[in-house]
Amino acid sequence: MIATQKVVVIVPIYKNELSALEKVALAQMQRVLAAYPRIVVKPESLVLSDEIASFNFTGEESFEDHFFKGIEGYNALMLSDIFYGRFLGYEFMLIHQLDAFVFTDELALWCNQPYDYIGAPWIPPGKYPDIVKAIKSKIQFYYHARYNVQKNGVPSPMQYEYKVGNGGLSLRRVNKFHELSISMRHKMDIYLTRHEHEFNEDIFWSIEVNRKRKLLKIPSWKAALKFSIEQPPARCIELNNNQLPFGCHAWDLYPDFWRPIFKTCGYQI
């Protein structure tokens, strides 16, 4: 199927009760991304409440309940050709989890970039003491990711540093993800047997897919910071020339940092 629309906003929801912060995220999404199709992805057994309906989603898509049973189920959904196949009528999807927040409508701008996947980069908290240490670390990052260096039976943390990126607010080229979710099924099945966070679905798309050769076009961490940030937020903002990105993820973990910024958007958190 050939994509007929540019982008759809996907909001995974597995329950009818929304927290106060989740309501903030949905209110902002409705305000900023009102020009785009906004679809709830939910369990088949869930009938959406009037409260959720009040956010004026343009549609809903239901999947088998087991896809919403914890992080393992969600990983299986995000690694499923069934999921991406449902949205082949769109060129891109924006995954917008309930702990994501968008500041301005830059979605069309990002859809016009040459990337297949964009998410918040994983930024370490500290700075390098000197240029020699920075170069040495960069070489180590490449080596650990390229050769899947393990520590205590799981991928080394150095595989993820400065990699792009987190799936909670992420832009995905639908057809490419659909193709890879079929052709790389054997590797995905290995990931789905593991329960450590090092085997989450966004790790697969960010690192595993491009481990040996480049199958997904993913931006540099510096470019990705303009799309989304996660943690540590203060350092990410500093690295982004003190500019807010298109959006952020897991902001509820840093309320003191985000409170004054959200206040300028009209929200008390």
Do both 119 and 246 map to the same domain?
yes
Task: Classify residue 100 by burial, with Cβ atoms within 10 Å: 0-12, 13-18, 19+.
Answer: buried
Instruction: State residue 133's pLDDT score.
Output: 56
Residue 213 lies in a domain: yes
Do both 13 and 84 map to the same domain?
yes
Instruction: State residue 62's pLDDT score.
Output: 99
Evaluate if residue 128 carries a pLDDT over 60. Answer: no
The pLDDT tens digits for 158-176 are 677 899 999 999 999 999 9
Instruction: State residue 130's pLDDT score.
Output: 54
Do both 87 and 144 map to the same domain?
no
3-state secondary structure at position 118: strand
Residue 115 lies in a domain: yes
60-69, 133-142, 160-169, 232-241: segment of lowest average pLDDT: 133-142
Q: Label residue 78 by pLDDT band (50, 70, 90).
A: very high
Instruction: State residue 242's pLDDT score.
Output: 97
Q: What are the residues whose beta carbons fall under 8 Å from the beta carbon of 88, sequence distance 6 or more?
A: 1, 3, 174, 175, 178
Residue 257 vs residues 8, 14, 67, 251: alpha-carbon distances, Å: 30, 28, 33, 9
* Last residue in a domain, options 140, 161, 182: 161
Do both 118 and 157 map to the same domain?
no
Instruction: State residue 196's pLDDT score.
Output: 86
Q: Label residue 223 by pLDDT band (50, 70, 90).
A: very high
Instruction: Report cis status (omega within 30 of 0) of the bond before 167.
Output: no
Instruction: State residue 198's pLDDT score.
Output: 78
Q: Provide the whole-model pTM.
A: 0.92
Do both 35 and 16 map to the same domain?
yes
Which token pair is 187? 């590797």
Do both 67 and 152 map to the same domain?
no
The pLDDT tens digits for 8-66 are 999 999 999 999 999 999 999 999 999 999 999 999 999 999 999 999 999 999 999 99
Do both 79 and 10 map to the same domain?
yes
Residue 269 lies in a domain: no
Do both 133 and 242 map to the same domain?
no
Averaged pLDDT of the chain: 92
Instruction: Report cis status (omega within 30 of 0) of the bond before 232.
Output: yes
Domain boundaries, position 150: 124-161
Q: Report d(CA 226, CA 248) in Å as an integer.
A: 10
Evaluate if residue 1 carries a pLDDT over 70. Answer: no
Question: Looking up tokens 């047997």, which residue turns up?
Answer: 193
Residue 137 lies in a domain: yes
Do both 41 and 96 map to the same domain?
yes
Do both 12 and 143 map to the same domain?
no
* Last residue in a domain, options 161, 190, 222: 161
Evaluate if residue 132 carries a pLDDT over 60. Answer: no
CATH number at residue 44: 3.90.550.10
The pLDDT tens digits for 173-216 are 999 999 999 999 999 999 999 888 878 999 999 999 999 899 99
Give me the numbers of helices (H) and strands (E) for the chain, helices first please: 12, 11
Do both 155 and 228 map to the same domain?
no
Do both 66 and 197 map to the same domain?
yes
Domain count along the chain: 2
